[in-house]
Amino acid sequence: PKCLWIKIYLLCIYNLFLLQLGKSVIAKVTITKGTVLSLDMFAVKVGEPKGIPPENMQNLVGKKIKVDVEEDDSILADMIE
């Protein structure tokens, strides 16, 4: 039926949207330059720019941040020492 095709189409569009944006690690709090990172500083959200994927979040713990990061900003690989 036509309704089924519309549902399939919308599901495909939604999946493409999620793939395009993807989930990234973001700052749960403001993080200042030189801070040693800990797990409680991070959250995961869908957004731009694409940052570090959630499955790599644990690898950030104990590393230093090279720049100031505002709350809700994506954590990017080039921000990490």
Q: Which whole number is the average pLDDT over 52-76?
A: 95
C-alpha–C-alpha distance, residues 14 and 58, integer Å: 28
What DSSP line would sit under 28-41, residue for residue? SS-B-TTPBP-GGG
Domain count, the chain: 1
Which CATH number do you get for residue 51? 3.90.1210.10
DSSP state of 52: S
C-alpha–C-alpha distance, residues 23 and 56, integer Å: 11
Question: Over 90: is that where the pLDDT of 73 sits?
Answer: yes
**Domain for residue 3, yes or no?**
no
**Domain for residue 6, yes or no?**
no
Closest-CA residue to 47 (of 76, 68, 69, 67) = 76
**Domain for residue 1, yes or no?**
no
pTM greater than 0.85: no
Which residues constitute the domain of residue 57?
23-79
Q: Each residue of 3-23: pLDDT tens digit?
A: 788 888 888 777 766 666 678
Q: Rounded mean pLDDT of the chain?
A: 88
